[in-house]
């Protein structure tokens, strides 16, 4: 029901967009580049995955995020059932090297260095505040999935 649509990135980073169930953009995203699905170092492979809400205490981010966002933050959102991987979360970050295979949220991405991308300072938190509530609500009420799609070269058909 949610879609992470990746854009063309740099050698180390991949910008993208998180789309809601209606196809509207919720926020910008940032991931590491593709490195053969290496745990802690790579973005996840394209595909569809269930989203789950980790219970408070299941993530090292919990205490910090509860202090930052208050009681409405009821746990981290995890991209689940990725073959050979776990602990793939949506969280705050500005640079690909702050991500160990997770997905950062932001209001935009911008070039960083010669060929890579980042989320500009001050934009990760607002993106998270936009994306977290609808994902959390969908997970709690009816379950939610995330479909991850890579850029489609000009003239190529997207294979489902």
Are residues 79 and 53 in contact, defined by beta-carbon separation less than 8 angstroms?
no
Torsion, Cα of 62, 65, 67, 73 (10° steps): -90
- Digit-coded pLDDT (tens) for 121-144: 999 999 999 999 999 999 999 999
Average pLDDT over residues 104-115: 92
Domains in the chain: boundaries: 2-149
Does 120 have pLDDT greater than 90? yes
| Residue 114: pLDDT band with limits 50, 70, 90 | confident
Q: What is the pLDDT of residue 42?
A: 83
Does 157 have pLDDT greater than 50? no
Say how far apart CA 134 and CA 85 lie, in whole Å: 24
Work out the mean pLDDT of the chain and round it to a whole number.
Answer: 89
| Residue 160: pLDDT band with limits 50, 70, 90 | very low
pTM of the complete model: 0.89
- Which three-class secondary structure state does DSSP give residue 32? strand
| Residue 153: pLDDT band with limits 50, 70, 90 | low
Q: What is the pLDDT of residue 62?
A: 84
Average the pLDDT over each of 54-63, 73-82, 100-109 and give the range with the smallest value: 54-63
Exposed, middle or buried: residue 147 (CB in 10 Å: 0-12, 13-18, 19+)? middle
- Digit-coded pLDDT (tens) for 43-66: 889 999 999 998 877 788 888 898
- Digit-coded pLDDT (tens) for 6-48: 998 888 899 999 999 999 999 999 998 877 777 777 888 999 9
């Amino acid at each position: 029901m949610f879609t992470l649509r990746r854009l063309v990135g740099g050698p180390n980073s991949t910008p993208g967009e998180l789309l809601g169930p209606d196809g509207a953009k919720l926020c910008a995203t940032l991931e590491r580049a593709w490195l053969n699905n290496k745990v802690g170092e790579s973005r996840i492979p394209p595909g569809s995955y269930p989203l789950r809400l980790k219970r408070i205490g299941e993530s090292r981010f919990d205490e910090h995020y509860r202090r930052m966002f208050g009681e409405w933050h009821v746990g981290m959102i995890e991209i689940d059932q990725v073959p050979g991987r776990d602990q793939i979360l949506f969280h705050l970050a500005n640079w690909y090297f702050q991500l160990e295979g997770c997905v950062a949220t932001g209001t935009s991405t911008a070039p960083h260095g010669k060929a890579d991308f980042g989320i500009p300072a001050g934009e990760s938190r607002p993106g998270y505040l936009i994306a977290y509530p609808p994902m959390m609500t969908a997970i709690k009420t009816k379950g939610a999935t995330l479909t991850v799609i890579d850029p489609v070269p000009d003239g190529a058909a997207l294979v489902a």
